[in-house]
Amino acid sequence: MMKRLILAAAAAALFVAAPASAEPEKIELTKMMGRWYEVARVPNKLQDGCEAGASDWTPREGGFAVVQRCWKDDGGQTTWKAKATADPSNTRIKMSFFGGLVSQDYRVLEHRIDQGWLILGTANGKYVWLMSQKPTLPAAIKAQAVARMKQLGFDPARLEFPGPPRS
């Protein structure tokens, strides 16, 4: 009897400790158009030393053209161009960089249209970004978005918060 209670307690603890499912959200693709500013991200080699990151999304035949920019520590600007297409369910976005040499699948994990932010993650769950339609988010809304990232299973302690665009 005691063994059963211990096993039941261990199983319950595992269930409670497991991260929430980060299922992709169906998005209205027209809401992706325009400029999105980077508010937070899990560190990655490509964006090491990047500040004031932004992505510009414009429609193009068969998908989107995306131009991503950031300012590096040395004052120079880095730019990446990508082609993006959505899957038929509008839950996943495939982006190809460097003329198609590199591609990555992304999922919109949360999109708060009314507050102007979204959480974008790689399909493998390794990387995540908090993006905003404005250069900065009010502190309370930013805290809410970071709390949502935690609910989705991402560790807020791993996030870095690059500086906003320079004026």
pLDDT one-digit tens code per residue, 125-152: 899 999 999 999 999 999 999 999 999 9
Instruction: State residue 22's pLDDT score.
Output: 55
pLDDT at 58: 95
- Residue 60 token pair: 């193009």
Instruction: Decide if pLDDT at 15 tops 50.
Output: no
**pTM score of the predicted model:** 0.80
CA angle 147–78–98, rounded 5-degree value: 95
Q: Which residue has the higher pLDDT, 1 or 122?
A: 122
What does the pLDDT look like over 28-38, one tens digit per residue? 777 788 999 99
Report CA-CA distances (Å) from 28 to 58, 64, 165: 14, 13, 27
Q: What is the pLDDT of residue 99?
A: 85
Residue 116's nearest CA partner among 51, 35, 22 is 35
The Cα–Cα gap between 10 and 4 comes to 10
pLDDT number for residue 155: 93
The dihedral formed by the CA atoms of 129, 130, 131 and 136, expressed in degrees to the nearest 10: -130
Predicted confidence (pLDDT) at residue 8 exceeds the cutoff of 60: no
Length of the chain: 167
pLDDT of residue 24: 66
Distance CA 103, CA 83 (A): 9
Per-residue pLDDT at 38: 95
Tens of pLDDT along 55-109? 999 999 888 999 999 988 777 889 999 999 988 888 889 999 988 899 999 998 9
pLDDT of residue 75: 79
**Residue 78 parent element (H or E):** strand 77-86
Residue range 37-60: mean pLDDT, rounded: 91
Q: Which residues contact 108 (CB under 8 A, 6 or more apart)?
A: 24, 25, 27, 91, 93, 118, 119, 120
Task: Report whether 124 contacts 42 (CB < 8 A).
Answer: no
